[in-house]
Amino acid sequence: MEIITGTGVNGGIAIGPLTIHRRAWSEIKASSVGDIESEILRFETALGKTVEELQVLYDKAVEDVGDAVAMIFEVHKLMLEDIEFTESVKDIIHTQKVNAEYAVDATASKLSSIFAAMDNEYMRERAADVKDASKRLLGRLQGKVSEKIGVSEPSILLADDLAPSETVQLDRSMILGFVTRLGSSNSHTAILARTMDIPAIVGAVIELKDEYEGKLTVIDGFEGKIYIDPEEETLNMLKKKQAEYLQRKMLLKELKGRESITLDGHKINIYANIGNCNDVENVINNDAEGIGLFRSEFLYLENSHYPTEEEQFLAYKTVVEKMEGKKVIIRTLDIGADKKVDYFELEEEENPALGYRAIRICLDRIPLFKTQLRAIYRSSAFGKVSIMFPMVISLEEVLELKEIVNEVKKELKDEEILFSDAELGIMIETPAAALISDLLAKEVDFFSLGTNDLTQYTLAIDRQNRKLNRFYNSHHTAVLRLIDMVVKNGHENGIWVGICGELASDLSLTDTFLKMGIDELSVSPGKVLELRNKVVNFNMDNKNN
């Protein structure tokens, strides 16, 4: 038995023979061309055919995995049609008098290197998109038609890497799971694996050895482990784990479409947290009743410039429309602390968690803040939107925020731009906000407890400092008392109270929160049905809870 580790990007257990997929690499060489115009025309013809092919892939992906994930192929189209890309290819053909294949490969290598060198992990992953899109174009130039990965029996696939286009075309009846040597948890291939619900491991420390071909293999997507030729005891243990997981999965599917109501009739809203637009399909697939935390900072982290009002509006609108009338709570910009953006030019701080971050930046850079608020309010014309402000610590801040909001609404009204009224809420993330929550509740429509920071600030422990792990206790009595206080103060002033931090998905605390009277719990999409199962089996009057 051989045990190999990697990064699990989608849970589940897959058991079956291993099939190795090797790409047929062909070296791209420069060759002189005499007729420059004909070579450029050959490039443009191949480009047009490739764009058509990507459109077919997009349409298939929309049908199979939803349009949010299908946007991968729209991005590939945009990359190939981008004037910077096409002009670079043509310029190389013209000035160096070389073949189109060489010009495409040189341009793609340059662009992918630029992406790969970026600080932001999401942007680094775009280097793989450049390579995937350009390889498709190169195949067209070389007269090669892209084919599906075929296997003769249900198998676990092992490859150096899988391009998004290869992943979306996998025959799910034949591919039990896959393992790649390259890739990360943020890659499009990983996102597709989660959406298609295929057990998958990336970044595995494994060679594509011929001797592995056909060997019985188990991949554990939860642990990120690959077992090649497992011993009988290990195999039986993993089969049991697989059976338990599938049984639990079937049970949870039965909860789809049900309201989250306790046995004694208390309705709890179970919402989902998302980090960007691509997560919405997961929210819908897991039957969340709304979005309790839309982290808007992804728009800033993924850009090399301040996102415009229009860019933000389109992102918010996309999410709001997809949720079809379900509530979407958009958190305003939460940059700072561990989330750095170069173009913000923030100074280094000795203790950034206690520094210039979140609402403090927004109240200091009001034009930046107003741009975001305008975009959010514009999106409210297309669905049910609420706005949530992070890191509030005083009543004065809330009053200033409401003033700015009123100014933005007046501007939009004067410009005759459609918008709907939106609930205004604040995150309770500091002991200061919790202790004056009775005052704050009079000025807002809801509270959402950010338990990650609330725990960190209450215990005076940096949650990212591993040396302090043994002292960090998210179940600390002080933290739970603060949460209870916030719920009581919120309810006494007629507003609802939710939790969007990690504790919301801690099933060992669900009963405690329900007894406190919490109205909403917002968790990662994959936790929604598990949490609903806990809620619908809870009875407030049962003393054994």
Give the pair of three-digit tokens for residue 245: 């997981």
DSSP class of 256: T
Burial environment of residue 359 by CB neighbours within 10 A (0 to 12, 13 to 18, 19 or more): buried
The reply to whether 452 sits in an annotated binding site is yes
Cα–Cα distance measured from residue 290 to residue 335, given in angstroms and rounded to the nearest whole number: 24
510's torsion region: left (phi>0), alpha (psi -120 to 50) or beta?
Answer: alpha
Nearest to 334 by CA among 314, 308, 362, 310: 362
Cα–Cα distance measured from residue 179 to residue 206, given in angstroms and rounded to the nearest whole number: 9
Burial environment of residue 334 by CB neighbours within 10 A (0 to 12, 13 to 18, 19 or more): buried
The reply to whether 429 sits in an annotated binding site is yes
Number of H helices and E strands in the chain, helices first, is 20, 16
Q: What is the residue-wise DSSP string for 476-541?
A: -HHHHHHHHHHHHHHHHTT-EEEE-SGGGG-HHHHHHHHHHT--EEEE-GGGHHHHHHHHHT--TT
The reply to whether 42 sits in an annotated binding site is no
Contact 338, 464 (CB under 8 A): yes
Give the pair of three-digit tokens for residue 83: 């004037």
Catalytic member of 21, 76, 188, 277:
188
Residue with tokens 């998905």: 505
Give the pair of three-digit tokens for residue 461: 């422990």
Tell me the backbone φ, ψ of residue 359, rounded to 5 degrees.
-65, -20
- The yes-or-no answer on residue 500 being catalytic is yes
Catalytic member of 21, 277, 362, 500:
500
Cα–Cα distance measured from residue 66 to residue 462, given in angstroms and rounded to the nearest whole number: 39
Contact 140, 163 (CB under 8 A): no
Half-sphere exposure of 270 (CA within 13 A, CB side): 34
- The yes-or-no answer on residue 362 being catalytic is no
Contact 106, 92 (CB under 8 A): yes
Q: Are strands 225-228 and 269-274 parallel, antiparallel or unpaired?
A: unpaired
Give the pair of three-digit tokens for residue 99: 């073949």
Q: Please list the alpha-helical segments (H only) found in 119-187.
A: 121-141, 164-168
66's torsion region: left (phi>0), alpha (psi -120 to 50) or beta?
Answer: left
Cα–Cα distance measured from residue 253 to residue 10, given in angstroms and rounded to the nearest whole number: 17
Which residues are documented as binding site for phosphoenolpyruvate?
295, 331, 452-453, 463
Which residues are documented as binding site for Mg(2+)?
429, 453
Which residues are documented as binding site?
295, 331, 429, 452-453, 463
Catalytic center residues: 188, 500
